[in-house]
């Protein structure tokens, strides 16, 4: 069984293709990122991030791409209520792994499918106070920005879909740094439990001016061709920029490949 730990979930509500009319007046932003091997400049994979609004909800789309640009995985995120605890759906076409959270009349339903031919398991999971789900981690950092900048650590319950449970994750503020000339705040993230010492610590760097993520270093969600989680450095070199409705719709409809070359 694949176990997605907090270190693989930092960085999917199923989203149907929106019509051009529904998105015509929305603000659409796109941002590119590159994941490098942690100790080299070798490109492991790429990420295309999209932010927009539809039907009154803030949404995200992330395409995970092979080094040659072909997409192999997709994540969709829909904010319903608290920005730090959105619905999401993630699917990797290489092996069919899928996980996510959807809102229902019964509550928040967490679901996991290990492979394309496996049965999807799902369970209603109670949401603790301050719950953080998937990409909502980014909103959580901004929510606690003043405390972190003041040097105070923050512990929150973070969802592990594969375990249908929340675990406490601690953010520790680090030094103020300059990241490629940009004033930034560095911080670390790890399990806040007695056995946290066996879990890898991740390092995050956020811009001081707008609290946008500049770099993530640690064990990533995306696995290699042998199913192993990878130690990467994900770099967001430029802020998000405006994009067209047509470009977003093309991204939503992008087919996923079952393998990257090489």
Asked if the structure places residue 172 within a domain, the reply is yes
- Residue that wins the pLDDT comparison between 11 and 252: 252
- Residue that wins the pLDDT comparison between 8 and 94: 94
Q: Mean per-residue pLDDT for 239-262?
A: 94
Tens digit of each residue's pLDDT (9 = 90 or more) over 27-52: 999 999 999 999 899 999 999 999 99
Tens digit of each residue's pLDDT (9 = 90 or more) over 44-79: 999 999 999 998 899 999 999 999 999 999 999 999
Tens digit of each residue's pLDDT (9 = 90 or more) over 93-144: 999 999 999 999 999 999 999 999 999 999 999 999 999 999 999 999 999 9
Residue 227 is predicted with a pLDDT of 85
The yes-or-no verdict on residue 196 having pLDDT over 90 is no
Asked if the structure places residue 262 within a domain, the reply is no
Asked if the structure places residue 260 within a domain, the reply is no
Asked if the structure places residue 1 within a domain, the reply is no
Residue 8 is predicted with a pLDDT of 46
Residue 195 is predicted with a pLDDT of 57
pTM given for the model? 0.89
Residue 26 is predicted with a pLDDT of 56
Asked if the structure places residue 34 within a domain, the reply is yes
Confidence band of 14 (pLDDT split at 50, 70, 90)? very low
Asked if the structure places residue 53 within a domain, the reply is yes
Domain of 146, in residue numbers: 6-252
How many domains does the chain contain in total? 1
Residue 15 is predicted with a pLDDT of 26
Residue 261 is predicted with a pLDDT of 83
* Least-confidence region, from 2-6, 175-179, 205-209, 238-242: 2-6
For every residue of the chain, which 3-state class applies, written as one string? Answer: CCCCCHHHCCCCCCCCCCCHHHHCCCCCEEEEEEEEECCCCCEEEEEEEEEEEECCEEEEEEEEECCCCCEEEEEEEECCCCCCCCEEEEEECCCCCEEEEEEECCEEEEEEECCCCCCCEEEECCCCCCCECCCHHHHHHHHCHHHHHCCCCEEEEEEEHHHCEEEEEEEEEEEEEEECCEEEEEEEEEECCHHHHHCCCEEEEEECCCCCEEEEEEEEEEECCCCCEEEEEEECCCCCEECCHHHHHHHHCCCCCCCCCC
Residue 192 is predicted with a pLDDT of 85
Asked if the structure places residue 186 within a domain, the reply is yes
Asked if the structure places residue 259 within a domain, the reply is no
The yes-or-no verdict on residue 20 having pLDDT over 50 is no
Confidence band of 226 (pLDDT split at 50, 70, 90)? confident
């Amino acid at each position: 069984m694949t176990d997605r730990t907090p270190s693989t979930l930092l960085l999917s509500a199923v989203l149907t293709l929106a019509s051009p009319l529904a998105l015509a007046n929305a603000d659409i932003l796109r941002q590119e990122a590159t994941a490098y091997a942690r100790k080299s400049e070798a490109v492991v994979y790429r990420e295309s991030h999209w932010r927009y609004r539809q039907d009154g909800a803030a949404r995200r789309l992330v395409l995970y791409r092979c080094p040659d640009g072909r997409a192999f995985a997709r994540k969709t995120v829909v904010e319903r209520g608290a920005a730090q605890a959105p619905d999401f759906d993630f699917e990797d076409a290489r092996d069919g792994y899928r996980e996510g959270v959807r809102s229902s009349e019964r509550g928040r339903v967490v679901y996991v499918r290990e492979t394309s031919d496996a049965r999807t398991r799902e369970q209603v999971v109670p949401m603790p106070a301050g719950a953080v789900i998937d990409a909502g981690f980014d909103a959580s950092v901004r929510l606690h920005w003043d405390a972190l900048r003041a040097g105070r650590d923050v512990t929150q319950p973070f969802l592990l879909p594969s375990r249908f449970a929340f675990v406490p994750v601690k953010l520790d503020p680090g030094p103020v740094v300059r990241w490629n000339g940009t004033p930034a705040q560095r911080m670390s993230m790890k399990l806040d439990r007695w056995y946290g010492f066996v879990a890898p610590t991740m390092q995050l760097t956020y811009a001081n001016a707008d609290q946008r993520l500049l770099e993530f270093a640690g064990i990533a969600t995306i696995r290699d061709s042998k199913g192993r989680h990878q130690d990467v450095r994900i770099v967001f070199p430029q802020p998000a920029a405006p994009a067209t409705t047509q470009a977003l719709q093309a991204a939503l409809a992008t087919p996923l490949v079952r393998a990257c070359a090489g």
